Every structure is written in structure tokens, then in C-alpha cells.
Amino acid sequence: MKLVIQRVNIASVTINGGETRSIGRGLCVLFGAGAGDGAELIPKLAEKTAKLRIFSDGEGKMNLSALELGLEVLVVPQFTLFADTKKGNRPSFTGAAEPEFAKNAFESYCAELEKYSLKKLERGEFGAHMLVSLENDGPVTIIMDTREWQRNA
């Protein structure tokens, strides 16, 4: 699985041109599941997200997490995180997980995040057309890739 985590002042997602879900200060997380990913890493991925120390302390050092500060999180499913651009100009998405697994992985990840004392958790909708809007603070953007964890284990 792959996450793109952005520290934000505000973020929102509008689903199929209708309902908008939004958060204030916290994290905007783009979530992608890859072919061959296993669900066993989802709890660790959620814990690392909630405890990721990318918010400044009183000395201006990135020492605090969304969990410690009681901030908000918006999670958006995004299979395009697994785009392969090696050949030609049209990306291939064969590296993305099958839709059924990806949807279940997304829902499981959100359910795991809900176990933490975050102020608010909002989510996009798997398979929907979404418009994401955010104000990246810093900018701070972190990429988490479970395949990197497995290579370096």
C-alpha cells in the first residue's frame, strides 16, 4: 500500500459533484492499494499515520502528531498512486490492486484510523469521481510505502 500524507490547514473532497466532506487542521491522506498487497499491514499503517510526528512543537521542530494534537484526517482512495510511467506517455495501472481488495483495504484502513482519538475522520468514496481541495501547510508531504518497509526489513 502507498500513502501520500500532507499536513494541511484545511482539506475537502466533493463526491460526484454533490456532497462535500471537509476537515480543518490535520492530515489529508491519499490511499492506494497495490497488486499483491496484504491486509496484515493495515493496522501498522493506520498507527504510523496517526502517530506521524510532522507537526511543530514549541521550538518549531516536527515533534508532534495528529493524534497528540487531536487533529482531523481526510482519507481519499486513489489507485493512480500505482501508475507505471516507464513506457510511453499513457500510464499503466496494472500495479494497482483489484477493485474489491482495494475497496476493502481502504475501508479497513479508515476503520483502523477510527480507533485513534482523532478529532474527526472524513473519507472520500471508493470508485466515485472526487474533487480534492487542500491547503498544504509547510508544505509538508510524506510518502509511506509498505513495499519499502518489506524491502528494508
- Active-site positions read 78-80
Query: Quick check: 146 and 6 in contact, CB under 8 A?
Result: no
The backbone torsions φ and ψ at residue 148, rounded to the nearest 5 degrees and listed phi first, read -65, -40
The alpha-helical segments, DSSP class H, found in the chain are 42-51, 66-69, 99-113, 146-151
Nearest-angstrom CA–CA distance, 33 and 145:
10
Q: What is the DSSP letter of 41?
A: G
